[in-house]
Amino acid sequence: MRYAGEWMTAADDRILEYLSEHEAGSPTKMKREGPIRYSRQQVHRRCKKLDENGLIKHLGNGVYVITDDGEAYLDGRLDTENWTYIDDDSEAVEAQDPTEGEASNGGAT
């Protein structure tokens, strides 16, 4: 079971699944090769949002990779609403909020 935050959409799961399976990709490549039934522009917008929230990382030139937090979310080990990790004993452990410490880049989400 995945614990999606209110800010997430169904497109986000498809993007994360694609990146988990293919290691890297651009919105154009995801749209062309993946099971993503959204426009390239929508995929691009969601990639930016996932990057801002630390689930994927932008490498440059429109290429993204999934992060450890993104993999944890897919595995049902990260609640992206509360940014808490869920261990095997169902105890929640607070995760690092990816927006903390971003004052130098505006901290926008």
On whether the CB atoms of residues 61 and 46 are closer than 8 A, the answer is: no
Q: Return the residue matching tokens 């450890």.
A: 68
Give the residue among 16, 51, 20 at the shortest CA–CA distance from 36: 16
Architecture of the domain spanning 10-98: Orthogonal Bundle (1.10)
**The overall pTM is greater than 0.75:** yes
pLDDT of residue 97: 59
pLDDT of residue 98: 58
Non-local (6+) Cβ contacts of 65 within 8 A are 19, 23, 24, 56, 57, 59
Q: How far apart are CA 81 and CA 30, in angstroms?
A: 25
pLDDT of residue 94: 55
On whether the CB atoms of residues 84 and 78 are closer than 8 A, the answer is: yes
Q: Return the residue matching tokens 């690092």.
A: 96
pLDDT tens-digit readout, 25-80: 999 999 998 778 899 999 999 999 999 999 999 999 999 999 999 999 999 999 99
pLDDT of residue 36: 86
Domain ranges of the chain: 10-98
